[in-house]
Amino acid sequence: MAPDALGTDITDASADPYVQLAFSSTARRGGEPAALGAHAHQSRMLRVGANFVNTVVGAGIVGLPHTLKRSGVALGLGMMVLACAGSHYSIRLLVRLSLELRVTTYEQACYAVFGRPGYVLVCASLLVFDFGACVSYLLIMTDAAARAVEQVWPALGPHDGAMREAVLFAHAPLLLALCLQRDLSALERWSAFSVALCILLAAFVGWQYFALDGALARAPDAPAAPPPAMRFASVGAASAFGTIAFSFVNTDTALLLFATLRKPSEARWSLLSAASLGTSLAICGSFALLGYLTFRERCTDNLLNDYPSDTAAVFGMRALYALSMALTYPTTFFVVRHVCNELAFAGNDGHASVQSNGAVRHVVLTLCIFGASFGLAAARVQLGIVMALTGGCAGVIVAFVLPPALWLRCNRSGFSPWLFKNRGAVCASAVELGPALVMLGFGVAMALLAPAQTVACAVAPERLPTFC
């Protein structure tokens, strides 16, 4: 046992069967511990960055214009910047802690610091968040592809009929082949292609905004009326933050991506995280703003569904975005499989990582998760509620609650998190621990408020018109 700065004991991670270390005890790169054993395939920053951006610019992007409608333009864009900055900070904390604790995964860090309760909480949050993301990707992919098919071949039936399920299961062989891969580095080229498609989609949204000059924002029966005025702030911000968190949180994949980085170090990771999140913010922010301005109060939770199906450009964008979702789905699937593997087999004799599992266990685990996500997508759960709930609850816990809580528990400064107790050093302790305390308080508040508002507005919006 090693005492932390608060005088309490932190579990020795290497002594517990739930924590299988892959760090070399002596190897150091650039003066910092390196994850030498985490992955056999390590890649340059540009390739890892492509995977990083792909985990952010995914299904959530099509729901971001609707968040500006829910929260108001200024408040919504401000929350996107806040979520981006908060994600960068929490990811840096998590990687720094993983190097100090010499662990390779998020759940190992939580077990080392908080024991079994922390391990269960992070695993449950990761599972809910990433499985929700997998279902969201399938819902958007299916909807976009079915509408594109209907646009070209109307005789096949409406996009919300049986053709929808046919399109969903037609993608299954391609997705299963990608999901059977064992290592995230195997998806780097696909991720770069997927990011390029999202940039093209953002350009399409901008082109439509300037070409249509607000025509789609006006009511159909009043073509001469001006578009409705923008709202700069709204009380719907809490539930809107759930979708924003769903979009910008990738703390769940941070350590898996860090392990694929060639010459991993805290400095290189910080640069990669800042560049990747900045790129993601530029893509998502421009998409959200221009998409909202195109439709204003007529925005739905999937922007692509709002465009009329009468042009080749709309068909092309729907087809390309369906392909982008198909390429993004496996990246999040890897996290779900990893967490399920830990929950099911950690502590058992012969426990191995998902990269080292035997062929039978690997295939069975993959097929079970794959089938469950496809089953929910076929059941047609509502996209907006899935993104808001999983992002507002599990996503906030993963990104804005647990990383600062871990950091505060393990801080070596000697300061108490109760700042008033640091007599003679209140200001110094506020500088050292203040950012983590602010993030922790914000995360707890949003984890409670965002799901509550989402559920209340979904169940009885007419009874709570002000709240919704």
Q: Kindly report the CA angle at 325 between 121 and 211, in degrees rounded to 5?
A: 125
The answer for residues whose C-beta is within 8 angstroms of residue 292's C-beta and 6 or more apart is: 65, 66, 68, 69, 73, 299
Q: Is 386 left (phi over 0), alpha (psi -120 to 50) or beta?
A: alpha
Structure tokens at 375: 């089953």
Fold that domain 2-17+48-346+356-459 belongs to in CATH = Amino acid/polyamine transporter I (1.20.1740)
- Transcribe 201-214 into DSSP letters: HHHHHHHHHHHHTT
Q: What are the pLDDT tens digits along the chain (468 aa)?
A: 333 333 333 444 433 333 333 332 222 223 333 332 344 457 788 888 888 887 787 667 888 998 998 888 999 999 999 999 999 999 999 999 998 888 888 888 999 999 989 998 999 998 998 899 899 889 988 988 888 888 888 777 777 777 888 889 888 998 999 888 877 666 666 777 777 888 888 898 988 888 876 666 665 555 556 666 777 888 778 888 888 888 888 887 888 788 888 888 888 999 999 999 999 999 999 999 999 988 888 888 888 888 887 788 888 888 888 887 887 788 789 889 988 888 888 767 667 777 778 888 889 999 999 999 999 998 888 887 888 888 888 989 999 999 999 998 888 777 788 887 887 788 888 888 888 999 999 999 999 988 888 888 777 776 766 666
Place of tokens 């990582």: 353
* pLDDT score, position 228: 66
Structure tokens at 93: 């904390």
Structure tokens at 353: 């990582």
- Transcribe 335-398 into DSSP letters: HHHHHHHHHHHTTSTT---TTT--HHHHHHHHHHHHHHHHHHHHTT--HHHHHHHIIIIIIHII
pTM of the model: 0.77
Length of the chain: 468
Taking each helix axis from N to C terminus, what angle separates 106-152 and 402-410, rounded to the nearest 10 degrees?
160
Determine which helix (DSSP H) or strand (DSSP E) holds 10, and give its type and residue range: strand 9-10
Taking each helix axis from N to C terminus, what angle separates 237-248 and 106-152, rounded to the nearest 10 degrees?
100
- Say whether 39 sits in a helix, a strand or coil: coil
The answer for residues whose C-beta is within 8 angstroms of residue 349's C-beta and 6 or more apart is: none
**Dihedral over Cα of 427, 428, 429, 433: its sign:** positive
* pLDDT score, position 185: 62
The strand pairing partners of 29, in sequence order, are 32
